[in-house]
Structure 1
């Protein structure tokens, strides 16, 4: 994860320095990260973890975690 963070920060610096194309690339990562989180949540649910447990890891309330991911997990 540290490597991914370094790459993303470097991409942000390139955009700040004038590499306009890199901005679109950074934005495209948003969906990939959200898909990875949803897959992680689905895996935790499949292992029997509660929404409260998952919410704690996400740093949100149980209700927020459920509302955000329950439909994605079921799909």
Structure 2
């Protein structure tokens, strides 16, 4: 799906995610030469990504996607997807 970027340029979701992957790999290389504070910051991205995926799953559900479709997208069974993301836990 295409979205308009900040400059009004259409960006496909796949292209956007590929850019994000490149940025994460680059961050890993930078942190490899940094100190433990930056390592902790990089590791914290794992929690951020988990939250973003959970939000995306809820968005997919609100657009009518089945648990089987979501499981396929995540590379897990529909039962595993529903168990993991079916009941949102509130964390604050």
Identify the TM-score tier after normalising by the shorter chain: 0.7 to 0.9
Distance 1:67 1:53 in 2: 14
- How far did 1:21 drift? 2.0
Instruction: Give ranges in structure 2 of 5+ residues lacking alignment.
Output: 1-16
- Over aligned residues, Cα RMSD in angstroms? 1.8
State the 4+ residue runs in structure 1 displaced beyond 6 angstroms. Answer: none
Which residue does the alignment assign to 1:43?
59
Q: How much has 1:18 moved relative to structure 2?
A: 4.3
Equivalent pairs counted in the alignment come to: 74
Q: Is the 8 A contact 1:11 1:22 kept in 2?
A: no
Q: TM-score, normalised by structure 1?
A: 0.82
TM (norm. structure 2) is 0.69
- For CA contacts below 8 A with separation 6 or more, give which structure has more relative contact order: 1
Partner of 2:18: 2
Does 1:12 find its partner at 2:12? no
Between structures 1 and 2, the one with greater strand share: 2
The runs of 5 or more residues in structure 1 that have no matched partner are: none
Q: Could you say which structure has the higher helix fraction? A: 1
Contact kept, 8 Å, 1:51 with 1:66, in 2: the verdict is yes
